[in-house]
Structure formats: C-alpha cells, structure tokens
C-alpha cells in the first residue's frame, strides 16, 4: 500500500469510526500531515521537471525530424492530451480501489468486537509504517542510480514518464 492510500485510509477511518477516533495516535496524524506537505512540494517540483523535460524533448524532436512550428505545436498538444488521459484513467482506478478497500474495511469492522477493531487498526498502522520505510528506501536506491527518466533519444518518449502515481 502506498503512502497516499495508507494516509487516506487512516484519515477516513479516524473520521468515521468513533472507536478508532478515540485511539488515534496524534503523532501519527502529525506525521501524516508533514508527509502530505512534503508530497505536495515534491509533486510541484516533479511537474516543473516534467515541463522542462517535455520542452527539451520537443526541441530535440523538432531538430532531429525537422518539424515546423505548426507540427511541433500539434505534436506537443497530442502528447499532453494523451498524458492527461492516462493520468485520468489512473485516478479513476485509484478511486475505485479506494472505494473497494473502504467497503471491505466496513464489512470487516462489522465482524469484529471493539477490542478486535482496535488490534486490527494497530496492526494496520504498523504495516503502514513498514510500507513507508520500504517505499522510502526504494526511492533512495532509485536516486542513487540516477534519474531514470533521462533519455538520449526522442523515441523513448512514452506515457510512463507522465501521470504517475506513487510507485
């Protein structure tokens, strides 16, 4: 589970379950808010890098293919539109998965006693922390390998470079 899903699950559960709201760890909520702020800043930086990369690649395509300004503008719009479509599909999928998980959690809660719900929430909280550490260490490994999005040729220019969620 990625941070976003874990955080949203924690916030949703804390807001809608009185048992969980009473036992919510305030330091975890503060940690989540800090993470959310860092995530928003990172997304903004990522968008700036992507825009710069897109412009650089378009210039390279224009030079290598001898594109006119009209062609360059048209191709840029086509690529941007396709990225947006992919991002929308990913968002829709994420929303659907979130809804399925919320329904599952509600059904599970109906089967558990108050003590079991509390234990279950503590277990999920531990798993979220473990997943955060795992995700963080994976990102550190990737950054050590260098920017995997830098490519020398324009034909590697695909949709996976844009519209990513947490991976």
Instruction: Provide mean pLDDT across the span 8-30.
Output: 58
| Lookup: tokens for 42 | 């990172």
Domain that holds residue 112: 3-9+27-135
First-residue to last-residue Cα distance in the chain: 10
Which pLDDT does position 102 carry in this prediction? 92
pTM equals 0.51
Q: What is the pLDDT of residues 22-63, one digit of tens each?
A: 445 567 788 888 888 988 898 899 889 988 999 999 999 999
Which pLDDT does position 125 carry in this prediction? 86
Establish if 20 belongs to a structural domain. Answer: no
The whole-angstrom separation of Cα 39 and Cα 166 is 10
Establish if 116 belongs to a structural domain. Answer: yes
Establish if 140 belongs to a structural domain. Answer: no
Q: Residue 110 CB: number of other CB atoms within 10 A?
A: 8
Establish if 61 belongs to a structural domain. Answer: yes
Establish if 16 belongs to a structural domain. Answer: no
For the chain, the domain total comes to 1
| Lookup: tokens for 129 | 């922390």
Judge whether residue 162 has pLDDT over 50. Answer: no
The whole-angstrom separation of Cα 82 and Cα 88 is 10
Establish if 97 belongs to a structural domain. Answer: yes
């Amino acid at each position: 589970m990625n941070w976003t899903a874990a955080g949203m699950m924690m916030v949703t559960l804390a807001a809608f379950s009185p048992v969980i709201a009473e036992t919510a760890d305030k330091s975890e909520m503060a940690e989540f808010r800090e993470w959310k702020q860092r995530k928003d800043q990172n997304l903004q930086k990522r968008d700036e890098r992507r825009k710069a990369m897109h412009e650089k690649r378009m210039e390279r395509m224009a030079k290598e293919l001898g594109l006119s300004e009209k062609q360059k503008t048209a191709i840029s719009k086509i690529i941007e539109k396709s990225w947006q479509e992919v991002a929308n599909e990913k968002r829709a999928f994420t929303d659907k998965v979130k809804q399925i998980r919320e329904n599952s959690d509600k059904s599970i809660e109906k089967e558990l006693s108050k003590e079991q719900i509390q234990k279950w929430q503590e277990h999920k909280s531990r798993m979220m922390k473990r997943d955060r550490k795992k995700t963080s260490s994976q990102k550190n490994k990737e950054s050590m390998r260098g920017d995997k999005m830098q490519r020398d040729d324009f034909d590697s220019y695909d949709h996976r470079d844009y519209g990513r969620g947490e991976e």
